[in-house]
Structure formats: structure tokens, C-alpha cells
């Protein structure tokens, strides 16, 4: 029989144990809440969430499992008429350079587009007469831009340096611009007999790994669809009809996102050149790799060196879908993706397109259309234009180009606001990954509506005019404020005379 | 203990209410001082800047040179 | 909490996991004291509530970490309040369903 | 006895001072209101350089060498939640709408932001005013949308008449704003009176039923419960020129009349939607009723309400000075500070019964004010009646004495 003392101290040990557990439990609970908040905050700030540039050679950036969503035909590429191939004049840079040549030849632009000397450009503006006014505006806006841009160097010095560095890199001569007929030029790096692959599946598996090793974040392979090859346009050939070289069988499409923080601080602090440079280098490396194995390779890379339209091929290769602002949207990085490709005669296994319900998201979202500084993105509820037989949202190329020439970037090229404000442009931290996995799997659309309600009510978006530079009615607003390493007042001896207008950091 | 809680609630909500009212007052005074409309929506064919500026002031040749050099 | 460090990060998550045991033993101690007669489904409801509560706080602070100031506070306020009300409701149900002592 | 007398005295002083302050604020407001609209109109010209006024609602923009005017600017106003919303419309000489500008609005700014975000006006730009255009409203901010659409139509009328000689305006009769919700408000109020009067066994059950229906109807469905801004609108007389939403004003005036008549405040415990929400939450957590006794806590809400009403009068914009969590609770309308206030109130109401009602709600100061003055007024009346009686009795006594002397 235990005597009272034993029962006594047993009771005390029991009660003290009980108290310890009770208080310990409370303390642990509060510690968990603190840890949850801290871990959450740090994960939000974690640079590892920045997908891109082949962070891990195993291509972990391509974390979205596409098998469950593969379809035979991309839902956002709805064919409504007979598909026509794109004309030379449909490509904006072709028009711009042709106008430059005519102006240097002494032609004086006027409000009447029928006076344009180059027939191919005239044909385009015959289809879209209203857009000629925008192109005209881009001339005068560019002059106003050049007269005002230097005044803001104090504010944007670091941003321009960052963009200038990659721009110089982009203009390096690798991969070299083709100079001869494709049948010769595409084989210039082939020294020996082509090595046979065990099977197209093996070839595709290897090529994808190599794309990741060359620094790409996303890669897809598909048959080269002739519908998206430009007519009368072949680099290295002054004259070209509409025939397609026989050895152009498959196309390897890959891409990499722009650096996240500058992109979120579009327009003034952002640049496409960092992603352009990396994508171009990767296309050169891939072309050389295929050449070493004895296969033809025709690199298509950013800046202005294409024979094909990239987004549709990327959609066919299952990288993503088409959106309201007309560029490719991927599940991993949203529209924050810059594409490059290599066309080859190597037999490869093709990827299938995917359907991630993005169509419905774009229909009810419209945030990019509201934020677009030049109002070039359609605000219709459904795709409201048919371009070369395919239904898509109307997009005013020339209006967008006009704001490129107004924007506060030194070369006056690029805007990227629609990419920055898109709800899909999210880094890979746990909360966005969770949402991106849940949304396509929910047939009822409840998650989508909840997300959009939160997006419209809880997030701050500067209005379209305020993205403009000061000389055209804005205050250099941006979706996020610029990152610390781009704020010139932190590093340079400059006097901060400006205010940042963008999402505040919450504290 | 609940009394203390209600006391804290009282003070905190009073602070938020005063901050809210303070902001409303300075918002209204600013609005009045600036004497500009609350909100203006202007029609533009399809770009935010509605007026098409007269083009003759531009020296196109210079523009062409600068454009080519910047994008080369 | 230390995403950049290869040593502290795993340690942190291990410790966080460990103290959850303390949290639940503490909770069961409180429950015993109030004779709530906890069984498996009551514990799973409380556990689910606790998980969503921590996830909400972590989510709100992740948004804050991403420089989405407004979004973070609104999520914390909106979802947080709903969860607190949910918690109070669960507590009420547990107290009501208390097995009366024989 | 002594402190009762002294506190009564201070209360009298306070109520007189607050009435004077309100009058001063109202007077201050009227002197400050310069008709600044004309100052804004010349900013609205697009192509025209010269602005001259044709009548008080129509301007025309001219260019020097052009014969007829290049564009017209019409002014119009619509009846919003808090009063008038003034709008100016710039119309080209062909009748296309070039620019719409909201000059001033008496609605709460968050309502207005909601309407602006829905870019209801962008849809109108470019339309021709010859045919009367229909505008689809915006969910959630119906009162303000009607005010805006009404104002835009009114602004287009003079220009349409000037350009095409068609007069299409059928001016809005205030009565047409009467809606079934107002009838329901009156019905619910009478039921609340009955429930409070009965000694019925199931009285609390009826009370709960009323509370819940009011929470759903006046709260979540229409968010038309009254607040300090409604009080501001009532005393500023803005409702004389018509109001978008009458329900809250009707409810408020019924409550005030009932307090004057029977000194009882029926609204708080039986009808207030926010009170109902706090009651439901109180049922969840086991709450106890606590109130804070120190004087400060009693007088702070009174000061707060007084300041808000004065500001409302001074700026002629009572609707923009409501500080209650009602807007956020029932419509997510309000600044982030009110959002935080609402969240704290909801969480506290799990622990303490009706925290908002116990602390800052403007209903308490209003009721105390009315009750005190009613009491004071009655006591003054009684004193007079007493004096008169004394005089009467003296007279009677005096005449008695005279008669007795005469008879002696």
C-alpha cells in the first residue's frame, strides 16, 4: 500500500507534469504560430522561389506535371477559317525597319498610309488602317522620349546599366546570323555523319536534359507546323518565296523567365534582354550540339531573328496556352517567359498540347487590359478577332509599339506591364504552387472565382496612365516597387527626388 | 480579465476610427484645394493619348538614324 | 525559416515538427481537465483547424514577404477572422457534446 | 444628490454646446461652399480653346477662327446615397461623348471607387447622345451607379437639346425611389415595437427571429442599415433634395420618434443587423456582458459623434464620414483601417458580448442626448405648470381673502 507521502508526491509529480504539459502546450502553440509567420515571410522573400536559368540541371523548374492535362489540340488555338501563313508585313520589326529605310531614302511620312513606299507594309495597313496613326505617333513620341529620357538618369542609372549589359551580350555574334541558303547554312556545324539514336523517345529525352543544362527553364518538342512559318522571309536570303526547306522537320522550343524583381517593377526598371540573352545563347549551344551529332539546326532566337512565330509552336509543344495579351502563358512562370527554338531534321518524339483552363481565367480576369498603358489589349469577354484563320483576342500591335517608344527604357524598347500584373506571373513558392495545381483540377470554377475576387479586391494596381513616364502623363508607377539592387539612391551619389508608386511592402 | 480585454479593444478601435477620420479630412481638404474633378474618363480612338500631335516638327532622318543605331 | 542554409533549414523543420507533439499533448491535457471526452474524429477536427490556422498565417506572411502588402493583410484579416469564428464554433460544439460524468 | 445635480448641469451645458457647434459647422460650411464647379469646367475642354457659358447647365467650346462651336459641355446631377453627384460631359459637335468627369459626389468614396473601377463610364465614351442611351449598372453599388447614370443623362440633356432640339429628359420624381425595402423597414419596426411590448412567453424567440431577418435583409442583402453618416444626412437636410436610398433614413427617423415618444430605444436589441451579428458570435463563445464605468468611456463616443457630425456639415459631405464597421461587414466597402476595426470587433465579440455597442457605437450618444433633452424639456414644462398652478392658487387665495374681507 503506498503511504500518504508517496501518494502525496506522486500527486505533486502528476500535477506538476500536468501543468508542464498544459503550459508547454500553450508555449509550443504560440511558438508554432510565430514560426509559421516567420517561415512564411522568409519563403515569400526566398530567392530560390525565382524560377529560371536552369537553377537545377535536372530541370526542376519545370515542376508542373502536364500528363494529366494533355489534349490533342490546344483549346486556345481555335481554328475558325482556313489558316493562312503569316506575311512578311505582319511582323512589326519588318515594318519598322522598312519605314526607316524609306525615310532615310527621303520619304516624308504623312497621315495617309497609301503613300507608304513599301508595298508589303502598305498591305498590312490596308487591313488595319487605324493602326497607321499609332505608328505615326510612335515617331513623334520617340523624339519626345529622347528629349526627356536623360533627365531621369539619376533614377534609372542602375536599371539601364543592367539592361545595357545584357543588350550588349545579345548583340554578340553567337549563334551567327545565317548568310547562305538554308540547305547550306543549317549544316554549317555538321562535320561528320549523323549518329543514329536508339529511338525518337531517347532523342527527345536527351535533348530536353541538354536544354536544361544549357540553362533553359522550360522545353517542349513538336513537329514544325508550316502554318506558322513566315512567307517571303528567310534570313540570309534577300529573295525567298514560300517554300519550306525539306530538312525542317521538328522544332525544339525552350524558354526562360526574365529576372523577377525588375520584371515586377516594369516599365522603367525592367528589361527583356536578360532572358533574351540566355535564350539566344541556349539556341546557339543546342544548334552546335546537334551539329556535332551530325544533324541540321536552324536556331530561332530573340531580338529579331525568326522565320517562325514562336507562341503557337510553344502551345503545340505543350508549354502553355494563348492569353488575352497575345503572348504564351505557362503554368510555371505565367507570361513571364522568353522563347527561343531550334528547327532540326532529327527525329524526335513530340509533346502534346495542354489544357489548363487558362481560357476561362483570361475571360473573367481582364487585369492586363485595364493596366495596359497604351490600351492595346482587348477588354472583350470572349476572343473577339480572327487572325489568319485562328480566333484570338484583338491586339493592337502598333499601339503597344507606340508605348514602347514612350516608355522610360533607354533604348525606348519594351514595356512588360501586362506580364507584371498578370495573376499567373507568380514565383514558385508554396502558396502559388498550391493554387496553380488546384485551379486547373477544379471543374466547377469555384477556386478561379475566389482567386479572381481576391485578386480584384485585395491587390493594388496603379491605373494605366500612371505607368506612363512623366513626359506623357504618368509617374513611372510600377506593379511592385523596384528591387533594392536597382535603387540608385542606395548605391550611387544621387539625390532622391522621386517617389515610388507601386505595391507597398506591407510594413 | 474580460474587462481588460474590452478596455484594450476600446483603445485600439478608437485609434483606428480616429486615423480613418483624420485621413478622410485631409483627403477632402486636398480634394478641395486641388479643385480638380474627382475622376475623368477621356475617349480616345484606341490609345490613351487622344490628340494626334502634328508631325511636321520631327526630323525623320535623325529619328531613322537613332532608331537603327539603337536597335542594331 | 532559413531557406538559404543547408544546416539550419532542415533543423528548423524538425524542431517545428517536434513541438507539434508538445502542442497536442498539451491540448489533450487541457481537454482532460475540462473532461471533453475527446475521441478520434474530435481530434481530427481540431487538428484540421490547427493546420488551416497555421497555413493561413504562413500564407498571409508569404504574401507580405513577396511585397504584396495589401494582399497579405487582407488575407490575414479575412480568412483569419473566419478561422477564429470557426475555432469558437468547434469549441462550442466540443463543450456541448461533453459526455456527462457518470 | 449633490453630484447628480452637478452632472446634470454639465450635461445641460454639453448638450447646448453641441447644438451650437453643429450650427456653427453648418454655417461655416455654407460660407465655404464657393460654386467651384465653374472653375473645373474649363479643364474639360478637349479641342476648344474658348469657353463661354450659355446657361447654368450648358457651356460651349469654341476655336478662334471657327464659326460654330467645336464642342459642348453639359452639367448634370444625380441623387446618390449621400446626396448630389455632379457630372460634366464633353460632347463633340456631332454629338459623340468625348469626356465624362465626376465633379463632386456626396457618396462614400469607396462606393464611388467601386463604380469607377467597373469602368461603367468607359463603356459610354464615344456613344452618340442623339438616342437616349441605356447603361447597365454595377453589382453592389447600385445606389451610386444610379446616381452616376442619372447625372450623365441629365448632363447630356441640354447638349442634346442644343444640338438636335430634342428634349428627352423625364425628370426623376423622388417618390420613384421608394422601394419595397422601405415598406419592409416600416413593417419590421412596428413588429419590433410589438415584440418589445408583449409579455409573451416566447418573447426572446420572436426577438431572435426579428434580429436574424434584419441581419439578412438590411445587412447582408442590401447593407442599408443607418450609421452616423445617415444622422449627418438627416440633420444637414440633404435628404430634402431627394436621396437614392431612403431605407436607412426612414429607419433612423422612426427610431428617433419612438425614443421621443416613449423614451425606449427599440432598434439596438431587436433590429440592428450588426448587433445581430455580435449576438450570434456571442452565442458561439461563452460571453459575459461587461461595460466600462470610467467617465472617459461614456463621453468619448459622444465627442466622436459630435466631431463626425460637425465635419459632415462643414464639408457638406456627411456620407464620407461614417466610421462604423457596417460598410465592411456587409459590403466590403471602406478603407483598410475600417477593415481592421471590423476584424477586431468580430473577434472580440466572441469573448465580450456586443463590444461595438458597449464602446463606440453612435446610437448610445444619440439616444442619451435625446433622452436627456426630453427629460429636461419635460421638467421645464412641469415647472411652468407648477408655477401656473401656484399663481392660480394664489389668485384663488387672494380672491378668497378679498371676498372674506368684503363679507366681513
Among residues A348, A469, B22, A252, the alpha carbon closest in space to that of D307 is found at B22
| pLDDT above 80 for A60 | no
Higher pLDDT, A242 or A53: A242
The residues in C 18-77 lying below 8 A from D, measured between CB atoms, are: 70, 73-74, 77
Interface of B with A (CB under 8 A): 44-49, 52-53, 55, 57-61, 63-68, 70-72
Contact indicator for A476, A154 with CB cutoff of 8 Å: no
Q: What is residue A165's three-state secondary structure? A: helix
Residues of A within 8 A of B72 (CB-CB) are 171
Q: Any chain D CB within 8 A of the CB of C98?
A: no
Phi and psi, residue C39, nearest 5°:
-120, -165
Phi and psi, residue A413, nearest 5°:
-115, 130
Among residues D109, D26, D106, D84, the alpha carbon closest in space to that of D242 is found at D84
Q: Any chain A CB within 8 A of the CB of D332?
A: yes
| DSSP E strand stretches across D153-307 | none
pLDDT band for position A379 (50/70/90)? confident
Q: What is the pLDDT of residues D186-234, one digit of tens each?
A: 999 999 988 888 888 888 888 999 999 999 988 888 888 888 888 888 8
- Return the C-alpha cell found at B14: 478608437
**Sheet of strand A78-79, all strands in order from the earlier edge strand to the far edge:** A78-79, A390-392, A385-387
Contact indicator for A145, B70 with CB cutoff of 8 Å: no
- Spatial separation of the C-alpha atoms in residues C31 and A21, rounded to whole Å: 12
CB proximity list for A146: less than 8 A, separation 6 or greater? A412, B66
Number of neighbouring beta carbons within 10 Å of residue B7: 15
Nearest CA in chain A to B69: A411
Q: Give me the DSSP letters along D173-199.
A: PGGGG--HHHHHHHHHHHHHHHHHH--
Contact indicator for B14, D360 with CB cutoff of 8 Å: yes
Q: What is residue D54's three-state secondary structure? A: strand
Q: What residue spans define the domains of chain A?
A: 59-90+128-491
- Spatial separation of the C-alpha atoms in residues A167 and A276, rounded to whole Å: 8
Instruction: Give every residue of chain D whose pLDDT is below 50, as ranges.
Output: 1, 137-140, 172-176
- Spatial separation of the C-alpha atoms in residues A263 and A433, rounded to whole Å: 20
CA dihedral D365, D368, D370, D373 (to 10 degrees): -120
The ipTM estimated for the assembled molecules is 0.77
- Spatial separation of the C-alpha atoms in residues C41 and D168, rounded to whole Å: 68
Q: What is the pLDDT of residues A404-456, one digit of tens each?
A: 888 888 775 789 999 999 999 998 888 898 888 999 998 888 999 998 888 88
Q: Find the mean pLDDT for residues A170-177.
A: 92
- Spatial separation of the C-alpha atoms in residues A106 and A115, rounded to whole Å: 13
Kindly report the pTM of this predicted structure: 0.80
Residue written as grid cell 508538445? C22
Q: What is the pLDDT of residues A200-245, one digit of tens each?
A: 999 999 999 999 999 899 999 999 999 999 999 999 999 999 899 9
CA distance A456 to chain D (A): 10
Q: Do B60 and A103 touch (CB under 8 A)?
A: yes
CA distance D269 to chain C (A): 22
Q: What residue spans define the domains of chain D?
A: 37-172, 176-371
Q: Do B38 and D320 touch (CB under 8 A)?
A: no
Q: Do A457 and D332 touch (CB under 8 A)?
A: yes
Q: Do D343 and C81 touch (CB under 8 A)?
A: yes
The residues in C 33-72 lying below 8 A from A, measured between CB atoms, are: 33, 53-55, 57-72
| pLDDT above 80 for A357 | yes
Burial of D332 (0-12, 13-18, 19+ CB in 10 A): middle
- Return the C-alpha cell found at D332: 466590403
- Spatial separation of the C-alpha atoms in residues A57 and A338, rounded to whole Å: 19
Q: Residue D36: its pLDDT value, please?
A: 59
Q: Residue D79: its pLDDT value, please?
A: 77
Contact indicator for A177, A305 with CB cutoff of 8 Å: yes
Please, where are the H alpha helices in C5-68?
A: 8-33, 40-65
Note whether C touches A: 3 CB pairs or more under 8 A: yes
The residues facing D97 across adjacent strands are D91
| pLDDT above 70 for B48 | no
Interface of A with B (CB under 8 A): 96-97, 100, 103-104, 108-111, 130, 133-134, 136-137, 139-140, 142-143, 146, 171, 304, 373-376, 396, 399, 402, 411-413, 464-465, 468, 472-473
Across the interface, of A139, A304, A412, the residue whose CB is closest to B55 is A139
CA distance D383 to chain B (A): 40
- Spatial separation of the C-alpha atoms in residues A7 and A51, rounded to whole Å: 63
Across the interface, of A26, A44, A460, the residue whose CB is closest to C65 is A44
Q: What is the pLDDT of residues C49-65, one digit of tens each?
A: 999 999 999 999 999 98
Q: Residue A38: its pLDDT value, please?
A: 93
Across the interface, of A43, A264, A480, the residue whose CB is closest to C65 is A43
Q: What SS3 string covers D312-371? A: HHHCCCHHHHCCCCHHHHHHCCCCHHHHHHHHHHHHHCCCECCHHHHCCCCHHHHHHHHH
Mutate which of D99, D110, D116, D117 to disrupt the A interface (most A C-beta within 10 Å)?
A: D117
Q: What is the pLDDT of residues A157-169, one digit of tens each?
A: 999 999 989 989 9
**CA A96 vs CA A135, A234, A248, A267, D89: distances in Å:** 9, 17, 28, 22, 38
| pLDDT above 90 for A179 | yes
CB proximity list for A177: less than 8 A, separation 6 or greater? A235, A236, A305
Q: What residue spans define the domains of chain C?
A: 1-33, 37-102
Burial of D88 (0-12, 13-18, 19+ CB in 10 A): buried
- Spatial separation of the C-alpha atoms in residues A496 and A507, rounded to whole Å: 21
Q: Any chain C CB within 8 A of the CB of A130?
A: no
Among residues A173, A410, A403, A184, the alpha carbon closest in space to that of A301 is found at A173
Q: Residue D172: its pLDDT value, please?
A: 47
Residue written as grid cell 545565317? A178
CA distance C56 to chain D (A): 15
- Length of chain B in residues, anyone? 72
Nearest CA in chain A to D334: A457
| pLDDT above 50 for A494 | yes
Q: Residue D175: its pLDDT value, please?
A: 46
Number of neighbouring beta carbons within 10 Å of residue D114: 22
Amino acid at each position: 500500500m503506498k503511504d500518504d507521502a508517496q501518494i502525496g508526491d506522486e500527486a505533486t509529480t502528476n500535477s506538476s507534469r500536468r501543468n508542464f504539459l498544459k503550459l508547454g502546450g500553450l508555449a509550443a502553440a504560440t511558438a508554432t504560430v510565430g514560426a509559421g509567420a516567420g517561415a512564411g515571410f522568409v519563403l515569400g522573400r526566398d530567392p530560390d522561389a525565382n524560377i529560371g536559368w536552369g537553377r537545377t540541371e535536372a530541370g526542376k523548374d519545370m515542376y508542373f506535371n502536364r500528363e494529366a492535362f494533355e489534349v490533342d489540340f490546344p483549346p486556345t488555338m481555335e481554328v475558325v477559317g482556313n489558316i493562312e501563313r503569316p506575311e512578311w508585313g505582319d511582323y512589326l520589326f519588318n515594318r519598322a525597319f522598312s519605314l526607316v529605310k524609306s525615310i532615310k531614302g527621303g520619304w516624308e511620312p504623312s497621315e495617309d498610309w497609301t503613300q507608304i513606299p513599301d508595298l508589303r507594309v502598305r498591305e498590312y495597313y490596308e487591313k488595319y488602317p487605324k493602326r497607321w496613326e499609332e505608328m505615326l505617333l510612335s515617331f513623334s513620341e520617340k523624339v519626345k522620349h529622347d528629349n526627356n529620357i536623360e533627365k531621369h538618369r539619376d533614377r534609372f542609372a542602375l536599371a539601364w546599366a543592367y539592361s545595357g549589359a545584357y543588350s550588349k551580350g545579345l548583340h554578340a555574334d553567337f549563334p551567327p546570323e545565317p548568310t547562305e541558303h538554308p540547305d547550306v547554312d543549317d549544316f554549317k556545324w555538321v562535320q561528320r555523319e549523323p549518329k543514329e539514336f536508339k529511338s525518337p523517345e531517347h532523342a527527345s529525352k536527351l535533348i530536353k536534359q541538354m536544354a536544361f543544362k544549357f540553362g533553359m527553364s522550360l522545353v517542349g518538342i513538336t513537329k514544325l507546323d508550316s502554318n506558322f512559318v513566315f512567307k517571303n522571309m528567310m534570313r540570309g536570303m534577300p529573295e525567298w518565296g514560300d517554300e519550306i526547306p525539306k530538312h525542317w522537320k521538328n522544332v525544339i522550343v525552350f524558354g526562360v523567365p526574365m529576372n523577377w524583381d525588375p520584371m515586377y517593377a516594369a516599365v522603367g526598371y525592367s528589361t527583356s534582354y536578360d532572358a533574351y540573352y540566355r535564350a539566344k545563347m541556349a539556341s546557339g549551344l543546342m544548334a552546335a550540339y546537334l551539329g556535332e551529332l551530325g544533324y541540321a539546326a536552324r536556331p530561332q532566337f530573340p531580338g529579331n531573328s525568326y522565320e517562325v512565330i514562336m507562341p503557337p509552336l510553344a502551345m503545340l509543344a505543350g508549354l502553355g496556352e494563348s492569353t488575352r495579351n497575345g503572348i504564351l502563358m505557362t503554368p510555371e512562370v505565367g507570361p513571364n517567359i522568353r522563347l527561343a527554338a531550334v528547327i532540326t531534321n532529327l527525329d524526335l518524339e513530340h509533346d502534346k498540347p495542354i489544357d489548363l483552363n487558362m481560357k476561362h481565367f483570361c475571360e473573367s480576369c481582364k487585369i492586363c487590359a485595364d493596366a495596359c498603358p497604351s490600351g492595346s489589349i482587348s477588354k472583350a469577354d470572349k476572343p473577339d478577332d480572327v487572325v489568319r484563320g485562328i480566333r484570338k483576342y484583338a491586339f493592337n500591335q502598333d499601339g503597344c509599339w507606340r508605348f514602347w517608344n514612350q516608355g522610360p527604357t533607354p533604348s525606348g524598347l519594351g514595356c512588360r506591364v501586362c506580364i507584371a500584373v498578370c495573376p499567373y506571373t507568380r514565383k514558385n513558392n508554396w502558396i502559388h504552387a498550391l493554387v496553380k495545381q488546384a485551379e486547373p483540377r477544379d471543374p466547377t470554377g469555384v477556386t478561379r472565382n475566389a482567386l479572381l475576387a481576391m485578386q480584384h479586391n485585395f491587390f493594388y494596381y496603379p491605373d494605366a496612365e500612371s505607368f506612363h513616364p512623366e513626359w506623357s502623363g504618368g509617374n513611372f508607377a510600377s506593379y511592385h516597387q523596384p528591387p533594392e539592387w536597382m535603387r540608385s539612391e542606395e548605391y550611387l551619389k544621387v539625390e532622391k527626388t522621386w517617389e515610388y508608386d507601386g505595391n507597398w511592402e506591407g510594413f | 480579465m474580460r474587462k481588460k480585454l474590452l478596455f484594450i479593444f476600446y483603445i485600439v478601435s478608437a485609434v483606428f476610427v480616429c486615423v480613418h477620420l483624420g485621413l478622410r479630412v485631409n483627403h477632402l481638404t486636398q480634394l478641395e484645394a486641388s479643385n480638380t474633378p474627382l475622376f475623368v474618363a477621356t475617349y480616345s480612338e484606341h490609345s490613351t493619348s487622344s490628340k494626334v500631335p502634328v508631325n511636321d516638327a520631327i526630323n525623320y532622318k535623325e529619328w531613322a538614324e537613332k532608331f537603327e543605331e539603337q536597335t542594331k | 525559416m532559413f531557406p538559404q542554409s543547408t544546416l539550419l533549414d532542415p533543423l528548423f523543420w524538425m524542431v517545428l515538427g517536434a513541438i507539434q507533439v508538445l502542442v497536442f499533448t498539451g491540448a489533450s491535457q487541457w481537454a482532460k481537465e475540462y473532461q471533453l471526452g475527446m475521441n478520434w474524429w474530435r481530434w481530427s477536427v481540431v487538428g484540421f483547424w490547427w493546420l488551416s490556422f497555421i497555413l493561413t498565417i504562413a500564407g498571409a506572411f508569404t504574401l507580405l514577404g513577396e511585397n504584396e502588402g495589401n494582399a497579405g493583410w487582407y488575407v490575414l484579416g479575412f480568412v483569419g477572422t473566419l478561422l477564429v469564428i470557426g475555432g469558437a464554433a468547434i469549441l462550442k460544439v466540443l463543450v456541448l457534446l461533453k459526455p456527462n460524468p457518470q | 444628490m449633490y453630484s447628480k445635480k452637478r452632472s446634470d448641469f454639465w450635461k445641460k451645458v454639453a448638450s447646448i454646446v453641441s447644438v451650437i457647434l453643429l450650427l456653427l459647422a453648418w454655417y461655416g460650411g455654407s460660407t465655404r461652399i464657393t460654386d467651384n464647379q465653374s472653375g473645373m469646367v474649363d479643364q474639360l475642354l478637349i479641342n476648344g480653346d474658348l469657353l463661354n457659358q450659355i446657361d447654368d447647365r450648358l457651356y460651349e467650346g469654341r476655336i478662334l477662327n471657327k464659326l460654330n462651336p467645336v464642342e459642348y459641355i453639359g452639367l448634370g446631377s444625380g441623387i446618390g446615397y449621400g446626396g448630389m453627384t455632379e457630372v460634366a460631359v464633353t460632347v463633340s459637335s456631332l454629338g459623340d461623348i468625348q469626356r465624362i468627369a465626376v465633379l463632386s459626389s456626396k457618396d462614400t468614396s469607396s462606393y464611388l471607387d467601386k463604380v469607377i473601377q467597373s469602368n461603367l463610364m468607359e463603356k459610354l465614351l464615344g456613344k452618340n447622345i442623339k438616342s437616349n442611351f441605356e447603361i447597365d449598372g454595377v453589382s453592389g453599388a447600385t445606389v451610386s451607379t444610379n446616381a452616376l447614370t442619372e447625372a450623365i443623362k441629365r448632363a447630356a440633356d441640354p447638349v442634346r437639346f442644343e444640338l438636335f432640339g430634342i428634349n428627352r429628359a423625364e425628370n426623376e420624381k423622388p417618390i420613384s425611389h421608394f422601394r419595397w425595402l422601405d415598406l419592409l423597414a416600416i413593417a419590421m419596426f412596428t413588429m419590433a415595437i410589438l415584440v418589445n411590448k408583449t409579455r409573451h412567453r416566447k418573447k426572446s424567440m420572436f426577438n431572435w427571429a426579428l434580429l436574424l431577418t434584419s441581419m439578412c435583409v438590411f445587412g447582408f442583402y442590401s447593407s442599408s442599415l443607418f450609421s452616423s453618416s445617415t444622422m449627418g444626412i438627416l440633420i444637414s437636410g440633404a435628404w430634402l433634395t431627394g436621396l437614392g436610398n431612403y431605407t436607412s433614413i426612414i429607419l433612423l427617423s422612426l427610431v428617433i420618434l419612438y425614443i421621443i415618444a416613449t423614451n425606449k430605444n427599440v432598434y439596438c436589441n431587436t433590429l440592428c443587423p450588426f448587433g445581430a451579428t455580435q449576438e450570434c458570435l456571442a452565442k458561439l463563445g461563452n460571453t459575459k456582458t461587461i461595460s466600462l464605468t470610467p467617465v472617459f468611456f461614456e463621453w468619448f463616443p459622444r465627442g466622436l459623434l459630435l466631431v463626425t457630425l460637425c465635419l459632415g456639415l462643414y464639408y457638406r459631405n456627411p456620407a464620407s464620414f461614417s466610421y462604423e464597421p457596417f460598410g465592411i461587414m456587409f459590403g466590403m466597402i471602406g478603407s483598410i483601417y475600417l477593415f481592421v476595426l471590423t476584424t477586431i470587433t468580430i473577434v472580440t465579440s466572441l469573448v465580450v458580448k456586443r463590444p461595438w455597442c458597449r464602446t463606440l457605437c453612435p446610437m448610445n450618444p444619440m439616444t442619451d442626448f435625446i433622452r436627456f433633452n426630453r427629460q429636461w424639456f419635460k421638467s421645464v414644462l412641469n415647472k411652468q405648470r407648477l408655477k401656473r398652478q401656484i399663481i392660480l392658487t394664489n389668485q384663488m387665495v387672494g380672491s378668497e381673502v378679498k371676498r372674506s374681507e368684503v363679507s366681513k
